[in-house]
Copies of this chain bind each other. A is one copy, B any other.
């Protein structure tokens, strides 16, 4: 029996939405422990939700992992529950790509069910709060030990929506990378691994040219923010294991005018 449910959403902290889902889960499975990953994902930002989920799950106990970023709620998008190939994780959410990047790091999807008409769902006049009516009760049932194929209708793993992410590349002596995400500190996470960056000399101690479509800047690659003066740009390996840019005691995203998917060229000097 699974005893942990993690929960990530864009419900925010102003309304009762998160609390209601906790209530539904506690009513169905009183002993389960719920770990809120975050509910502050930007409204409808499937990309940001998918990346946060993928970043968090390796650090949580195996269990049921609920992720609700759901701009298509009430429409034709499917609601799904997925088992990963490593046999440890059950993912529950809308079939819009929010779950797939996380599933991929656990070996991909072994089994998938459509839970839109799940016997575990609540009946409701509303079509706008599937977190409460579909996803939370199904997650609670799975945590309570109900089998995956008992909470929905089998669908093929291949039919589950994937989420395409940009992909950094080497171009001559430059690294062409893209903004994957911007965190609450304004730190910019790129789509380049430290290994790829190192292959063009972007590594600890290097001085860098950073070229965006609108700005040019210089940065230092160093382990600690303190290695540069306040206001200066630093490149580093971030907590998600990706090459990232930060401004010591400032916002790199703001200073460089960067948004998700923006392209940058980085070069060691």
* Chain A residues within CB distance 8 Å of chain B: 3-4, 6, 8, 11-20, 22-24, 26-27, 30, 33, 35-44, 52-53, 55-57, 59-61, 71-76, 124-129, 132, 183-185, 194, 223-227, 236-241, 246, 249
Contacts and interface: CB of A to CB of B under 8 A. Distances in A.
A52 B22 contact: no
A13 B246 CA distance: 19
A47 to B, nearest CB: 14
A17 B15 CA distance: 18
A167 B129 CA distance: 24
Contacts of A60: 19-20, 22-24, 26-27
A183 B23 contact: no
Nearest to A27: B61
Contact of A40 (B15, B30, B33, B72): B15
B23 A38 contact: no
A125 B26 contact: no
Q: How many copies does the complex hold?
A: 3
Contact of A184 (B14, B23, B183, B236): B14
B41 A14 contact: yes
Given A19-B36, A22-B60, A127-B224, 8 more contacts: A15-B38, A16-B56, A20-B37, A20-B59, A23-B35, A24-B59, A71-B225, A72-B225
Contact of A238 (B24, B128, B227): B128
A255 to B, nearest CB: 15
A12 B183 CA distance: 10
Contacts of A129: 238-239
5 contacts: A12-B184, A13-B38, A13-B39, A127-B223, A128-B238
Contacts of A26: 4, 33, 35, 60-61
B19 A6 contact: yes
A28 B117 CA distance: 37
The 8 closest A-B CB pairs, nearest first, are A23-B60, A19-B37, A74-B224, A129-B239, A75-B226, A14-B40, A75-B224, A13-B40
A127 B52 CA distance: 18
Contacts of A6: 19, 23
A4 B30 CA distance: 9
Given A20-B55, A60-B27, A75 B39 contact: no
Contacts of A40: 12-15
A225 B128 contact: yes
